[in-house]
C-alpha cells in the first residue's frame, strides 16, 4: 500500500555518539517531526524509499495508528540498509500532542 512521499525532511537536532577517545563516532541520531498524521506517515514512507526500511512493517504500523489516531504508540521499525548504513526509525506517536517525533538512528553496517 504505497502512498505519496514527502521529500526534504528537516531536523533541528543532531547527535553524534562516540567514545570520547578520538574523532570517530559510532552512531548518528537525529529527530524528524511532523504536525499531522499525514506528514508523519509521509516521513515514514520516505524512510522506506530512502533507506530500505521494511515496507510491510511500516504499512502495518501506519494502518494501525490511522485507525486510532488519538492513541499513543512507541514502535521501532527494523533497520533499513540500502545505503550501506543501518538506519532505524524509532516512532514516537501521541495523538494528544501537536507534534509527532521519529528518532532516527544511523549506525555503520
Domain boundary assignment for the chain = 14-108
Measured over the CA atoms of residue 45, residue 50, residue 55 and residue 57, the dihedral's sign is negative
* Protein fold of 14-108: TATA-Binding Protein (3.30.310)
Span 22-59, pLDDT tens digits = 556 678 888 999 999 999 999 999 999 999 999 999 99
Residue range 78-96: mean pLDDT, rounded: 95
Q: Which residues contact 28 (CB under 8 A, 6 or more apart)?
A: 14, 15, 16, 17, 105, 106
Residue range 53-79: mean pLDDT, rounded: 96
Q: Is 21 left (phi over 0), alpha (psi -120 to 50) or beta?
A: alpha
Under the banding of pLDDT at 50, 70 and 90, the label for residue 108 is: confident
Q: Average the pLDDT over each of 12-26, 40-54, 65-79 and give the range with the smallest value.
A: 12-26
Q: Which is more confidently placed, 48 or 18?
A: 48
Q: Which residues contact 1 (CB under 8 A, 6 or more apart)?
A: 59, 63
Please tell me the pTM assigned to this model.
0.80
Under the banding of pLDDT at 50, 70 and 90, the label for residue 13 is: low
Amino acid at each position: 500500500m504505497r502512498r505519496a512521499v514527502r521529500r526534504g525532511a528537516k531536523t533541528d537536532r543532531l547527535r553524534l555518539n562516540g567514545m570520547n577517545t578520538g574523532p570517530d563516532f559510532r552512531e548518528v541520531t537525529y529527530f524528524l517531526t511532523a504536525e499531522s498524521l499525514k506528514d508523519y506517515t509521509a516521513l515514514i514512507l520516505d524512510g522506506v524509499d530512502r533507506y530500505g526500511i521494511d515496507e510491510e512493517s511500516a504499512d502495518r504500523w501506519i494502518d494501525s495508528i490511522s485507525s486510532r489516531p488519538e492513541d499513543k504508540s512507541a514502535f521501532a521499525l527494523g533497520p533499513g540498509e540500502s545505503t550501506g548504513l543501518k538506519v532505524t526509525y524509532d516512532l514516537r506517536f501521541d495523538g494528544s500532542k501537536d507534534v509527532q517525533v521519529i528518532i532516527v538512528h544511523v549506525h555503520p553496517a
